[in-house]
Amino acid sequence: DAKTTQPTSMDCAEGRAANLPCNHSTISGNEYVYWYRQIHSQGPQYIIHGLKNNETNEMASLIITEDRKSSTLILPHATLRDTAVYYCIVRVSNAGNNRKLIWGLGTSLAVNP
C-alpha cells in the first residue's frame, strides 16, 4: 500500500472551510484514498473515500488531483465538533486476505471559535 504524508497539525476558524491535504505520490492505479477521523481518543470514524473522481457526502468532499498523487479533504463549514485527528489511508479495494490498514499519525485539526 502506498505511503501517505500529512501535515502534523492545522487550524481552522469555525464556520470556514477546512482543507486537509494528503500526499500519496506512489499510489498505484487500483488504490483508493480513504479518510477517517478520530475525535479525542474515541474509535476512528469513516468519512469518505474515492479512486479518481471527486466525491462528496454529507460529511465532506474529497478532491483527488488528476495524477492522483495528492488529495484534499474538505470540511465545508467546520464546527468545533470537527476538532479531531484526520487520517488519510491508501489501499487497494480488493486486497484478499487481511491487508491491514496502515495508519499514520494523521493531521490534528483544531477548529477555533
Binding site for other proteins (CB under 8 A): 32, 34, 36, 41-46, 49, 89, 91, 93-101, 103-106
**Cβ neighbours, 10 Å, residue 97:** 5
CB nearer to other proteins: pick between 53 and 94: 94
Beta-bridge partner residues of 97: none
Q: Smallest gap, in angstroms, from Cβ of residue 94 to other proteins? A: 5
The CA distances from residue 74 to 1, 27, 37, 41, 63, in Å, are: 23, 20, 13, 22, 8
- The nearer residue to other proteins, 29 or 113, going by C-beta atoms, is 29
Q: Which is nearer to other proteins, 14 or 110 (CB)?
A: 110
